Amino acid sequence: MAELNERSQNILEAIVKDYIASAEPVGSRAITRRHQFNLSPASVRNVMADLEEMGLLCSPHTSAGRIPTEKGFQYYIDSLLQIRDLSDKEKKQLRSSYRFSGMKMEDIMQEVGRILSGLSKYAGLVMVPKFASTAFRQIEFVRLSHGRLLVIYVSETGLVQNKVISADTDIDQRQLEKISNYLNRELNGLTILQVREKLKKEMQDEMSLYDQLRKKAWSLSLAALQDEIEDQLYVTGTSLMLEQPEFSSPDQMRRLIQTFESKKILIDLLDRSQSAQGVQIFIGSDVDLKGCSLISANFSNRKGAIGALGVVGPMRMDYSQVVPIVDFTAQLVSRVLDREAE
């Protein structure tokens, strides 16, 4: 992006801020009234024309003011946005909103989403930690019906997953107990990824495995862990989004709801944000989120359970407000996860 001189930057910033506050096109007159540049509307208009030329602004029609384009928002976020830190008071307040004692993982995640959306007035997202990257604590098998087993595994962080697998032969519960005991000894403390590695190796040696029980144990755990459990996503506060003027038309509402319903788009974005560090901002058609932005951050604990959380709002959302909330919440959640795994 070409450099902007200071005046242009100031004016762009003013336009973006006014637009964030009002959701209406901003005119040259309004700028000079609301901000103390010592400039006449005409001069502002010249600058605005330049900014439009550069693709940072556009006007919905000739006789309306300007609104920032996606590119304009991008520039604002990259170069002009100043993220204020939360004051200690705000931090304290936020901390006290989150009371997770005695909650299981799923409930915590849901609660975090609720609070995020409550604070931001937009939609809150929480993607639960992926099992793959977290440390393994325990595995149990339950016989359901002939040849069908329910396998339950628990992570260090208290995340519980379960899955139905079929075994070629029927195995009784006593044998299953032995198998799970054996596996729990062998696999304790490894991450699922490491477990998979180990499984691969063991299965190669399978031929040499004289012990029938072990053989069965390995093949069962392979079946249990082989394909990834799909990501789970909690979406909260959809209806808050619908209050925003940009989603006031039926068509836009429908599109928004559809996007949220399929969850796929959101999961993809949060997945992307997982690999990055700190707060990430995705804008509009950056991906199929027309008119929206996503502010996200990942969280993790020492043992590596990672998930992501964030807020989806209109592109015009109050970044300086929401970014620190998301950031701090991610840190809080990380700390809670650590406590859980202690």
Partner DNA sequence: CATTAGCACTCGAGCTAGTTGAGTGCTAAT
Partner DNA sequence: ATTAGCACTCAACTAGCTCGAGTGCTAATG
Say how many residues make up the chain: 342
Site for a copy of itself contains 162 (CB under 8 A): yes
Q: Which is nearer to a copy of itself, 30 or 266 (CB)?
A: 266
Nearest-10 Cα torsion for 296, 261, 103, 93: 40
Site string for a copy of itself, 86-105 (x = CB under 8 A): ----------------xxx-
CB of 320 to DNA, least distance (A): 24
Cβ 296 vs Cβ 313: under 8 Å = no
Q: How many CA atoms lie within 13 A of 35 on its CB side?
A: 21
Cβ 311 vs Cβ 274: under 8 Å = no
CB of 194 to a copy of itself, least distance (A): 19
Residue by residue, DSSP assigns 44-113 as HHHHHHHHHHTTSEE-SSTTS-BEE-HHHHHHIIIII--PPPPPHHHHHHHHHH---TT--HHHHHHHHH
Q: Candidates 33-41, 78-86, 255-263, 328-336 — which segment interacts with a copy of itself by CB under 8 A?
A: 255-263
d(CA 16, CA 65): 12
Coil, strand or helix at 206? helix
Site for a copy of itself contains 147 (CB under 8 A): no
Q: Which is nearer to a copy of itself, 213 or 253 (CB)?
A: 253
Q: Which is nearer to DNA, 71 or 214 (CB)?
A: 71
Site for a copy of itself contains 174 (CB under 8 A): no
Q: Which is nearer to DNA, 28 or 280 (CB)?
A: 28
Instruction: Please give the radius of gyration of the chain, using alpha carbons only, rounded to the nearest integer.
Output: 26
Single residue of 170, 197, 206, 261 touching a copy of itself by CB under 8 A: 261
CB of 7 to DNA, least distance (A): 7
d(CA 107, CA 115): 12
Q: Candidates 18-26, 37-45, 204-212, 246-254 — which segment interacts with a copy of itself by CB under 8 A?
A: 246-254
Single residue of 3, 146, 210, 227 touching a copy of itself by CB under 8 A: 146
Q: Which is nearer to a copy of itself, 152 or 287 (CB)?
A: 152
317-341 burial string, b = 16+ CB within 10 Å, else e?
A: bebeebbbbbbbbbebbbebbeebb
Residue 31: which of 42, 20, 44, 43 has the closest Cα? 44
Single residue of 81, 94, 152, 193 touching a copy of itself by CB under 8 A: 152
In the beta sheet, which residues pair with residue 26?
Answer: 66
d(CA 261, CA 270): 15
Q: Which is nearer to DNA, 41 or 158 (CB)?
A: 41
Site string for a copy of itself, 44-63 (x = CB under 8 A): --------------------
Site for a copy of itself contains 258 (CB under 8 A): yes
Q: Which is nearer to DNA, 43 or 97 (CB)?
A: 43
Q: Candidates 36-44, 89-97, 156-164, 209-217 — which segment interacts with a copy of itself by CB under 8 A?
A: 156-164
> Which residues of this chain interact with DNA, rule CB under 7 A?
7, 25-30, 38-43, 45-46, 48-49, 52, 59-66
What is the distance of C-alpha 22 from the center of its chain?
A: 27
Instruction: Enumerate binding residues for a copy of itself (CB under 8 A).
Output: 102-104, 137-138, 140, 142, 144-146, 148, 150, 152, 154, 158, 160, 162-166, 237-239, 242-243, 248-250, 253-254, 257-258, 261, 339-342
